[in-house]
């Protein structure tokens, strides 16, 4: 991770400060930055947590210098896309908006697309810092709001955040919660003692059980023009294909398979206002798709 030095400096950390946060020696950080050694996976997760991003983003940056989205930081640096504030989406039939934390770049992209609708797809695909990929049909939403974190909260009673709705918990926490419930061996091996404690504390604080974890980490939610909301675990490939199509053009069909029952669900695009997909599911689907293409 030779680029770790650039990220550390972008966040205003010395080698000693980074080492202290990670409970390692300064010499260890120096070896990582020189490329003489590599952190193990559990340590990569700790580094990602400290920087408010994911292991995937860290490794992508290390290889191709992609800009890193971060939930915790908003430095004036070209390498990091920091937390900006929230987007509020009001689907049909609801009286309160759904609020999602987003980065500065995502805010700028959403603003541009909405203001230039004639030159873009009728739909909108965006990612949030609280583990959501949103497939949005702006024409069916009652309202779209963009709220800078530096601004006051809305005074109309519309400010109602989910348990992870302020800045999100970080991709590695969501993955760790999944391992906590469904893969004990991975949970023990892939997480440091400090991250395991953080995850266990979140599970206890929010009284998460397997059902709540499924809703948080696996279920795709469809908000319809009638005001109805439908939630189930959709087959990854289907939601990935839908997101890809929506990012390019108005979907011709919305066809999602229930991953548990095998039931096939068809939705007319003209009646779908919003599809909310767990971002970790979307990213896993993207990995699976790339692996198929490479094979």
List, for residues 200-232, the tens digit of each pLDDT value: 999 999 999 999 999 999 999 999 999 999 999
Closest CA relative to residue 59, chosen from 7, 125, 100, 24:
7
Positive/negative CA dihedral, 85, 90, 96, 98: negative
What's the token pair of residue 81? 């896309």
pLDDT digits (tens, 9 = 90+) for 24-63: 999 999 999 998 999 999 999 999 999 889 999 888 887 7
What backbone torsions phi and psi does residue 231 show, to the nearest 5 degrees?
A: -135, 130
Query: Average pLDDT, stretch 172-196?
Result: 96
What pLDDT does residue 204 have?
A: 97
Rounded CA separation 99/157 (Å): 13
Computed on alpha carbons and rounded to an integer, the radius of gyration of the chain in Å comes to 20
CA dist 190 and 246 (Å) reads 34
pLDDT tens for residues 243-285? Answer: 999 988 888 899 999 999 999 999 999 999 999 999 999 999 9
Is 155 within 8 Å of 170 (Cβ atoms)?
A: no
Intervals of CATH 1.10.260.40 along the chain: 4-70
CATH number for region 4-70: 1.10.260.40
Q: How confident is the model at residue 3 (pLDDT cuts 50, 70, 90)?
A: confident
CA–CA separation, 247 and 251 (whole Å):
9
Interatomic CA distance for residues 141 and 251, integer angstroms: 17
- Residues 6 or more apart whose Cβ sits within 8 Å of residue 67: 61, 78, 79, 80, 81, 105
- pLDDT bucket at 140, cuts 50 / 70 / 90: very high
C-beta neighbour count of 98 within 10 angstroms? 22
pLDDT band at 80 (very low <50, low <70, confident <90, very high): confident
Q: What is the largest CA-CA distance in the chain?
A: 60
Query: Average pLDDT over the chain, rounded to whole?
Result: 92
User: Looking at residues 67-94, what average pLDDT do you find?
Assistant: 86
Q: Characterize 85-95 residue by residue with b for buried, 16 or more Cβ atoms within 10 angstroms of its Cβ, and e for exposed.
A: bbbbbbbbebe
Among candidates 121, 83, 120, which has minimal Cα distance to 100? Answer: 83
Q: Helix, strand, coil proportions of the chain in percent (round to 5)?
A: 45, 20, 35
Q: Which two tokens stand for residue 158?
A: 């519309």
pTM given for the model: 0.92
What DSSP element (H or E) covers 230? strand 229-232
Q: Is the pLDDT of residue 118 over 70?
A: no
41-55, 116-130, 183-197: the lowest-pLDDT one: 116-130
Helix (H) or strand (E) holding 111: helix 104-115
């Amino acid at each position: 991770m030779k680029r770790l030095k650039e990220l550390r400096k972008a966040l205003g950390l010395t080698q000693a400060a980074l080492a202290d946060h990670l409970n390692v020696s300064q010499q260890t950080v120096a070896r990582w930055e020189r490329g003489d050694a590599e952190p193990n996976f559990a340590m990569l997760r700790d580094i990602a947590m400290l920087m408010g991003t994911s292991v995937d983003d860290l490794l992508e940056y290390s290889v191709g210098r992609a800009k890193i989205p971060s939930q915790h930081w908003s430095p004036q640096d070209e390498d990091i896309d920091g937390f900006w504030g929230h987007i509020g989406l009001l689907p049909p039939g609801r009286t309160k908006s759904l609020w999602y934390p987003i980065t500065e770049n995502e805010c700028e992209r959403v603003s541009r697309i909405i203001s230039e609708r004639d030159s873009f797809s009728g739909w909108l695909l965006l990612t949030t810092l609280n583990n959501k990929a949103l497939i949005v049909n702006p024409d069916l939403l009652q309202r779209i709001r963009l709220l800078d974190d530096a601004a006051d909260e809305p005074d109309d009673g519309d400010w109602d955040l989910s348990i992870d709705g302020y800045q999100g918990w970080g991709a590695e926490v969501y993955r760790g919660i999944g391992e906590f419930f469904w893969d004990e061996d991975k949970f023990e091996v892939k997480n440091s003692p400090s991250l395991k404690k953080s995850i266990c504390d979140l599970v206890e604080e929010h009284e998460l059980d397997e059902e709540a974890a499924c809703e948080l980490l696996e279920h795709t939610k469809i908000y319809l023009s009638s005001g109805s909301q439908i939630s189930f675990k959709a087959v990854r490939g289907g939601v990935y294909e839908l997101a890809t199509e929506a990012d390019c053009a108005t979907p011709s069909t919305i066809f999602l398979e229930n991953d548990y029952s095998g039931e096939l669900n068809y939705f007319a695009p003209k009646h779908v206002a919003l599809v909310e997909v767990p971002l970790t599911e979307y990213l896993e689907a993207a990995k699976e798709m790339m692996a198929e293409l490479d094979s």
